[in-house]
Chain A
Amino acid sequence: MHRLHRIAPEISAYRTLTTWQRPLFVAIGSLLLLSVLVWPFLVALVLCGLATVLYVIVFVYRLVIFWQVVDRPPVVTVSDDEAEAIPDSDLPVYTVLVPAYREPEVIANTLAAVQSLRYPHDRLDVIVLLEEDDIDTMAAARAARPASYVRVVQVPVAPPQTKPKACNYGLTYARGELVTIYDAEDRPEPLQLRRAVAAFRALDSSVGCLQAQLSYHNAEQNILTRWFAAEYVAWFRGLLPALVAQDAPVPLGGTSMHIKRDVLEHAGGWDPHNVTEDADLGMRLRRLGHRTLVLGSTTLEEANSDFVNWVKQRSRWYKGYLQTWLVHSRHPLRLWRELGWKGFLAFHLIIGGTPFISLINPVFWTLLLLWIAGKPALVAALFPGPIYYPAMFCLAIGNFLVVYTNVAVVYTNLVVVRQAGHDRLLLAMLLTPCYWVMMSIAAVKAVLQLIIAPWHWEKTTHGLDQPTPPAEELRPVHRHGA
């Protein structure tokens, strides 16, 4: 279970900061503090300039990679006929891991969804992973009378109590050649496994992983779910294919990633200490030379509809991204060699940039508000010519382009999006800046948690799309979203 930490501690998030990172951060931190005391304005100006440069790079990068895939994103599509054409005897054994913790209400739904997969039962190996102390869910699972090919495995209680640890444990029981994960409340499209098999067969052997596209079944619930749904569409149908086209590492979603078993073991399984083990695995796969592609098959999940719950989930994602970024930055030269410059750039801008940008956004929003309110000279002085114009570009045009590209991606996929039941996304997308505010709140929380409790996994409550949501409290259990 802790294999990764033992065999390759450099790639494990067991320690957040490695040998040279900690002294470097301490050095930077103290230098900054010292300079702020001596030359406060100059330091502020330099930071402002650096931040502006980063913003410009991120905006332009996003635009460029999106434009490169705008009319034919590299998504692997398998038709229904092709998927069904494979004779049962030709199909490999498929392991489906279903990690769950404290999900007694929804485990039955999950089992039903998994059992509706169209795959021969003798070749399906479903392993439900429950923690030893999770009596309620175990009882509910048993009561749901799962089919014969479903095994319920009890994961021994041991820190860290996280989903990747459970999955690693489950892997030791796995029989299959291909592995995938489905979470509680996931509703995979029934032919997904077959499509994955067909795709793997037709593709190069360097393809080790196929990430299916995630979507939400409760997108219409409120504005938050709509934002979330739009974000997912842009992510799985826009950004991930764009990264694939860049030959960059693909941050996986926490479910519906279809991996070859040997590839997974070669990569060392999941990192139990990383709270976004999926992104981390994606990095490791790419570094070892395995490609990940996007599979044109949808799994429906439940979108977080509650603000507090959403912040918890998002802060975990940001924390995990920061962990992943720190871990994989440990040997920059090696990383460059393994990923190539495009992958290297994508890694820093997407994995490191996403939480970081959310973190510094509030600073600039505050400056903007101050300036609108009273045009204080200090704010004007922080933006001399060479910083002012790029910053204006980012404010006026960069933000617009982000929303615009999201709208374009959703629109390109409107047929699919409609099938999933999302219909009123346009207005929500135009209000995205409010969503960004929420992301920033989550980012601040993430950084704090990173320092205090890096492995702490805040569980997302499920079942909130039901009319009378159960009264779930904060519990450090695992769940995931992408």
Chain B
Amino acid sequence: MRHLPDAVGESLAVPVASEGKIIFGLALVVYLAAASALVFGHNIIEGDAYSRVGNAYYVLYSRDPHLAAIGFVWNPLPSLAMLPLLPLKQLWPAIVGAGFVANIVSAVFMAGAVYQLSRALGEMGLRRPLRLVFTGLFALHPLVLYHGANGLSEAPTLLFFIFTVRYLARWLRHGEMPDLVLAGTGLGFGYFARYETLPAGMTALLCVAVVSFLRCQGDRHQRTVSALYDLTICGSPLALSFVIWTMASWIIVGHPFEQFQSVYGNSSQARYFGAPRPVVTADVGILTPLLASWLGQALVRVLLLEPLLPVVLALLLPVVWLRRDAAVLAPASVLGGALLFTVGTTANNTIGPANRYYIWAIPLAVLLAAQVVAWNGSRGGRAADKTEDRRAGSTHPRKATSRDGGARRVLPWATPVSSTAPAPASPTRWSIGAGQRDVPTRVARALVALVVLAALAGSFPSATWLMLNPRLSFEAAGLRKLYDPPGVAQYYATAREAAQDLDSLHLGPGKVLLDTFTGFPVVLSSNNPQQFVITSDRDFPVRLADPVGTEVAYLLVPPDEPLDALNRRYPSLYQTGAGIADFVKEFRAAGDPGVWRLYRVRSTLEQVQRR
């Protein structure tokens, strides 16, 4: 417990450390509750999340357990985080069967993101009441709530992004290297969560380099050196992550950039299915003309998710000029960079216009808006004193005891004979509080705060409308089920049925061949996962090429899936058995669009006879 207040102007007696824990705990409970409602209440399961559960599952429970089964097309972090929880399936099968472990993981990560955000708000100087409100405006935003609950990878990415923003802001304010180290570490980890970290990192590093160059006192050469060091400190963890992942992918799978080179990756999907089409083709009322262009698509989404963003930006510029606080560049560069990347890739149709890619706009808006309000309400000059600000306790990861002003450990050498340690390059033009004008009157301040909060809160209904609109959002189809009566057929019912059927045959290991690209629900629903030969098995190509010789008994094929390995290898397999297998049965469940066909592989003798 720290006996010094956290945020400037803190007056409540509740210790700060508990506040963080409470926020985290509350957020976690909310997200887990939402997750349970989605999965167990309405069978709303995100395919991508369920697929990541599969990746983790294969590492431990497949026929050929090995870490590389985690897959190299998508980032490994979500699956890696699930690994320790998988053994719980003995106690609670739904963790794997319904993929709930992904939801648990995303809930934990998102709660962590909420925690980091609240800390960042505190460091901005926001007092507790406002801090809690702004935290709530982020945590309970419909899209954030949905992604905390649904098991997708936005949650870990948000955690690392907000972590990076927080420590980058601290570095921008105080120029202390440990903060830059942590910011760099956040980027490094973020790369394993989603690739968007790369563009976000690029913009962040650009910001770091420019600020470092401008801030350093000295001639041109010294400034360049200083900027280079800062770039190295902040950028090398990300570079390392990039190298490690690329090398691992290259060595294990043969392609350094599996995301682009794999047959299952985005690029390949785009090739087969054509460029992603905008969801909306029909009339969406007044928005239709806007949605015709890609820019319109992007803008509409951003505005619906966070209508406040343009207002905030408009308010921000004059205030930035007045306050000269470089810390606002932190959210702008990291989250803004990710957002720009999304807009750019939507523009050239590399990805579909899904809402999830615009989620960065939400913390961006909240943080920027909070910044405006924080400047508005904070006492003038207080933050100008760097030392004071530090003692007032920007929460530092290290134990409080070694940094409390004066309350040092009792060691003879801890007290320097004098306190003239060499000072870091001090900010010049960007000094905190220097050149600050008089703060507006109380009424005006309250008004601005109210406007900001109202606008942020207004994002809730607009975002909800967006998410539930089937013409604009991919997730609307699933979320519509929230209104449907219970008793609707379960998602992946077909897969479940297939799995039960196969389990009842009590087959030995390696008897059923399928491609987990679409077949993962079958493996996850089965009690005998080792009966399957799956894509991540190291002998998959051999067995696919020669099922007879490798004693594969059955082939499970999906229809209409040109990227499926079985369909690629034996194009006529689904329709006629490709001359190597006989049709056994078809699996088709009511309400579930999936249809699977089971084929029994003919033995060599049978093949000869049939010829």
Residues in chain A near residue B176, CB distance under 8 A: 71
B413 at the interface (CB under 8 A from A): yes
Considering only CB atoms, which chain A residue lies closest to B67 in the complex?
A389
A240 to chain B, nearest CB (A): 12
Residues in chain B near residue A410, CB distance under 8 A: 229
Instruction: Pick out which of these stretches binds chain A: B297-305, B323-331, B414-422, B563-571.
Output: B414-422
Q: Bound complex: CA of A407 vs CA of B419, how far in Å?
A: 24
CB atoms of A411 and B413 under 8 A apart: no
Q: Which of B230, B237, B423 has the most CB of A within 10 A?
A: B237
CB atoms of A79 and B413 under 8 A apart: no
Chain A residues touching B, range: 35 or more
Contact with A along B186-229 (1 / 0, CB 8 A): 00000000000000000000000000000000000110011011
Q: How many residues of B contact A (CB 8 A)?
A: 33
Residues in chain B near residue A430, CB distance under 8 A: 232
Q: Bound complex: CA of A76 vs CA of B414, how far in Å?
A: 8
CB atoms of B414 and A74 under 8 A apart: yes
Q: Bound complex: CA of A418 vs CA of B221, how far in Å?
A: 12
B420 to chain A, nearest CB (A): 5
In the complex with contacts A79-B418, A426-B232, A400-B240 CB distance below 8 A: yes
CB atoms of B413 and A207 under 8 A apart: yes
Residues in chain B near residue A413, CB distance under 8 A: 422
CB atoms of A407 and B232 under 8 A apart: yes
Contact with B along A192-206 (1 / 0, CB 8 A): 000000110011101
Residues in chain A near residue B232, CB distance under 8 A: 407, 426, 430
Query: Which single member of B228, B403, B418 contacts A78 (CB below 8 Å)?
Result: B418
B436 at the interface (CB under 8 A from A): no
CB atoms of A77 and B421 under 8 A apart: yes
B183 at the interface (CB under 8 A from A): no
CB atoms of A407 and B229 under 8 A apart: yes
In the complex with contacts A70-B178, A404-B236, A408-B177, A76-B225 CB distance below 8 A: no
A380 to chain B, nearest CB (A): 12
CB atoms of B233 and A408 under 8 A apart: yes
B181 at the interface (CB under 8 A from A): yes
Q: Bound complex: CA of A291 vs CA of B414, how far in Å?
A: 13
A7 at the interface (CB under 8 A from B): no
A157 at the interface (CB under 8 A from B): no
Q: Bound complex: CA of A399 vs CA of B411, how far in Å?
A: 33
Residues in chain A near residue B416, CB distance under 8 A: 75-77
Considering only CB atoms, which chain A residue lies closest to B222 in the complex?
A418
A180 to chain B, nearest CB (A): 18
Residues in chain A near residue B440, CB distance under 8 A: none
Q: Bound complex: CA of A78 vs CA of B419, how far in Å?
A: 8
In the complex with contacts A71-B177, A77-B420, A418-B222, A204-B412 CB distance below 8 A: yes
Contact with B along A154-191 (1 / 0, CB 8 A): 00000000000000000000000000000000000000
B152 to chain A, nearest CB (A): 27
B442 to chain A, nearest CB (A): 38
B244 at the interface (CB under 8 A from A): yes
Considering only CB atoms, which chain B residue lies closest to A201 in the complex?
B417
Q: Bound complex: CA of A408 vs CA of B412, how far in Å?
A: 27
Q: Bound complex: CA of A203 vs CA of B402, how far in Å?
A: 19
Considering only CB atoms, which chain B residue lies closest to A375 in the complex?
B251
Q: Bound complex: CA of A415 vs CA of B421, how far in Å?
A: 11
Interface residues of B in 98-153 (CB under 8 A from A): none
Q: Bound complex: CA of A34 vs CA of B221, how far in Å?
A: 61
CB atoms of A77 and B417 under 8 A apart: yes
A293 at the interface (CB under 8 A from B): yes
Residues in chain B near residue A411, CB distance under 8 A: 177, 229-230, 233
Q: Bound complex: CA of A86 vs CA of B222, how far in Å?
A: 36
A350 at the interface (CB under 8 A from B): no
Q: Bound complex: CA of A414 vs CA of B175, how far in Å?
A: 14
Interface residues of A in 65-88 (CB under 8 A from B): 68, 70-72, 74-79, 82
Residues in chain A near residue B418, CB distance under 8 A: 77-79, 82
In the complex with contacts A207-B412, A400-B240, A413-B422, A426-B417 CB distance below 8 A: no
A416 at the interface (CB under 8 A from B): yes
A354 at the interface (CB under 8 A from B): no
Query: Which single member of A71, A404, A408, A415 contacts B422 (CB below 8 Å)?
Result: A415
Interface residues of B in 407-438 (CB under 8 A from A): 411-414, 416-423
Query: Which single member of B226, B240, B413, B417 contacts A291 (CB below 8 Å)?
Result: B413
Query: Which single member of A68, A198, A203, A416 contacts B413 (CB below 8 Å)?
Result: A203
Q: Bound complex: CA of A3 vs CA of B232, how far in Å?
A: 51
A306 at the interface (CB under 8 A from B): no
Q: Bound complex: CA of A82 vs CA of B225, how far in Å?
A: 33
Interface residues of B in 62-93 (CB under 8 A from A): 67
Q: Which of A70, A202, A411 has the most CB of B within 10 A?
A: A411
Contact with A along B377-420 (1 / 0, CB 8 A): 00000000000000000000010001100000001111011111
In the complex with contacts A291-B412, A397-B240, A416-B422, A423-B417 CB distance below 8 A: no
Interface residues of A in 371-421 (CB under 8 A from B): 389, 396-397, 400, 404, 407-408, 410-416, 418
CB atoms of B229 and A71 under 8 A apart: no
Query: Which single member of B181, B225, B236 contacts A400 (CB below 8 Å)?
Result: B236
Q: Bound complex: CA of A396 vs CA of B241, how far in Å?
A: 9
Interface residues of B in 594-609 (CB under 8 A from A): none
Q: Bound complex: CA of A427 vs CA of B348, how far in Å?
A: 38
CB atoms of B228 and A426 under 8 A apart: yes
A230 at the interface (CB under 8 A from B): no
CB atoms of A206 and B420 under 8 A apart: no
Q: Bound complex: CA of A411 vs CA of B402, how far in Å?
A: 22
Residues in chain B near residue A418, CB distance under 8 A: 222
B192 to chain A, nearest CB (A): 12
A244 at the interface (CB under 8 A from B): yes
Q: Bound complex: CA of A129 vs CA of B240, how far in Å?
A: 51
Residues in chain B near residue A423, CB distance under 8 A: 221, 225
Residues in chain B near residue A206, CB distance under 8 A: 412
CB atoms of A71 and B233 under 8 A apart: no
Residues in chain B near residue A291, CB distance under 8 A: 412-413
Considering only CB atoms, which chain B residue lies closest to A202 in the complex?
B417
Given pairs A77-B417, A82-B417, A426-B225, 17 additional interface contacts (CB within 8 A): A71-B177, A75-B416, A77-B419, A78-B418, A199-B417, A202-B417, A203-B413, A291-B412, A389-B67, A400-B236, A404-B236, A404-B237, A407-B229, A411-B177, A414-B226, A415-B422, A426-B232
4 tightest A-B contacts by CB? Answer: A204-B412, A79-B418, A415-B422, A411-B229
Q: Which residues of B contact A (CB under 8 A)?
A: 67, 176-178, 181, 221-222, 225-226, 228-230, 232-233, 236-237, 240, 244, 398, 402-403, 411-414, 416-423
Q: Which residues of A contact B (CB under 8 A)?
A: 68, 70-72, 74-79, 82, 198-199, 202-204, 206-207, 244, 247, 291, 293, 296, 389, 396-397, 400, 404, 407-408, 410-416, 418, 423, 426, 430
11 inter-chain pairs at a CB distance below 8 angstroms, sorted by A residue, are A70-B178, A71-B176, A77-B421, A199-B417, A204-B413, A407-B233, A407-B236, A410-B229, A413-B422, A415-B422, A426-B225
